[in-house]
Structure 1
Amino acid sequence: MNQDYLALLKQRRSIYALGKEITLTDEQVVDLVEAVVAESPTAFNSQTTRAVFLFGAKHDQLWELIAKRLEKEVPDPEAFKRTAAKLATFKAGHGTILYYTDMAVVHDLEQNFPLYRDNFQDWSEQGQGIMTVGVWTSLANNGIGASLQHYNPLIDAEVAAAFDIPSTWRLRAQMPYGSIEAPAGDKDYLPADQRFRVLK
């Protein structure tokens, strides 16, 4: 049994200690992610996933924006210090990828295929998940650490205004990435009998 792909999946971990020095150029990161997104399956080949690449000052701007927004939500200064310290680890990375779903495409599908109307948003989320794992694993295969963050929807309006995001794009996640400055912690696994059923 070939387990090469499984070995790649095991490389993909949530890396929080990020640095600036990565093994790829910015152009290579864009090329890699664009290829993964293009090859990731979506329901009805709807291609609902979108990605925005933030490098340098734009990457810093995102995490500064998020910090200012969250400061309004965390009234306790001591608690916000912990939040700010976590955000600083993401800003310390090389760049960020913003993941979006183009809701115009989802709504067109809902109109054109009424029998499946209630499923298209769920299916677009499946497309997001498939694409995200593909990108994350591809970065890990190049020695680049990443994690997936979800400060949406709190930050949606500010991010859209700051980076000129189309109004039909719905923010789904943020992926800060960079050099791996410390390994991921141990990962726990549920017992197989709690997750799987095998019927013959």
Structure 2
Amino acid sequence: MIQTKQDFFTAVKERRSYYAISKESDISDQQIEELLANAIKYAPTSFNSQSGRVVLLLGENHDKLWNITEAALREIVPEENFGPTAQKMEGFRKGYGTVLFFEDLSVVKSLQEQFPTYADKFPDYSLQSSGMLQYIVWTALEIEGFGASLQHYQPLIDEAVQKIWGIPSDWKLLAQMPFGKPTAHPGEKEFQSIKERFKVFK
């Protein structure tokens, strides 16, 4: 297991959406791969389905993803309004890498066939499992000194991603997480009252 620099709840508190990131890393690519492998292995899944799939893009592959995304967005965003979108894409390209999160629909379909009583619930369970995997990865990246954000440019980029990186057709793209060393901190975050969000009955 990789050694961490923060305790878990410190990372939970510090984890934010970072958009100002750089192509720097305090750990090796091998350590990043190990971090992701552990997250995939140990993230909880319903019925132990293990349906989560992850693709790590580094170097030119990372840049290529955001070039593809920018090109797809240019097809739907008017040129006169494209300035902020172009800046956002450039911000993502400045990162060190991107994590792509998928769910294997063949696993979901198999569970639906095996357990027809829960057939309509398995897509929901799949999304819940993916959300937990995404959060584990996000928090683990925070622990290692990275800033990250969660993006959703599917289905605009699905076909290109599948073709360029040879992604199986049963893998459904759910999110993209660009990450890199933070170059600026996000602003203060406002919180709703815990009393309005949390009930205890003894």
TM-score, L = length of structure 2: 0.94
AA aligned opposite 1:199: F
Residue 118 of structure 1: SS of its match in structure 2? coil
Q: C-alpha separation between the residues in 2 aligned to 1:164 and 1:5?
A: 35
Amino acid at match of 1:157: E
The residue that corresponds to 2:127 in the other structure is: 125
Shift of residue 73, structure 1, vs aligned partner = 0.9
Deviations 1:155-174 (A, max 9, x none): 11111111111000000000
Partner residue of 1:63? 66
CA distance in 2, matches of 1:168, 1:129: 19
Cα-to-partner distance string for 1:116-145 (whole Å, 9 max, x where unaligned): 111111111111111111111111111111
Q: Does 1:9 align with 2:12?
A: yes
* Matched length: 196
Other-structure match for 2:117 = 115
What residue number does 2:21 align with?
18
Name the SS for the 1:73 alignment partner.
coil
Is the counterpart of residue 167 in structure 1 residue 169 in structure 2? yes
- Code of the residue aligned with 1:51 in structure 2: it is V
* Structure 2 Cα separation of the partners of residues 41 and 48 of structure 1: 10
Q: CA deviation at 1:79?
A: 1.5
Q: Find the residue that maps to 2:119 and give its secondary structure.
A: helix
- Aligned-partner residue type, residue 162 of structure 2: A
Structure 2 residue identity aligned to 1:45: N
Any gaps of 5 or more consecutive residues in structure 1? Answer: none
2:52 and 2:111 map into 1 onto residues whose CA distance is 14
Q: Which amino acid aligns with 1:106?
A: V
Partners of 1:142 and 1:11 in 2: how far apart? 12
* Residue 76 of structure 2 is aligned to residue 73 of structure 1: yes
Aligned mate of 1:97, from 96, 99, 102 = 99
Uncovered stretches (5+) of structure 2, i.e. residues with no partner: 1-6
Deviations 1:49-95 (A, max 9, x none): 000011111111100000000000102x2321110101110010001
2:186 equivalent among 162, 184, 190: 184
TM-score normalised by L of structure 1: 0.95
Query: Which whole-Å CA distance do the structure 1 matches of 2:122 and 2:159 have between them?
Result: 24
Aligned to 1:158: 160
Aligned to 2:38: 35
State the identity as a percent.
Answer: 44
Cα RMSD (Å) of the superposition? 1.0
Q: CA deviation at 1:6?
A: 2.1
In the TM superposition, residue 193 of structure 1 has moved relative to its aligned partner by 3.1
Structure 1 segments of 4+ aligned residues over 2 angstroms from their partners: 196-200
Distance 1:51 1:35 in 2: 12
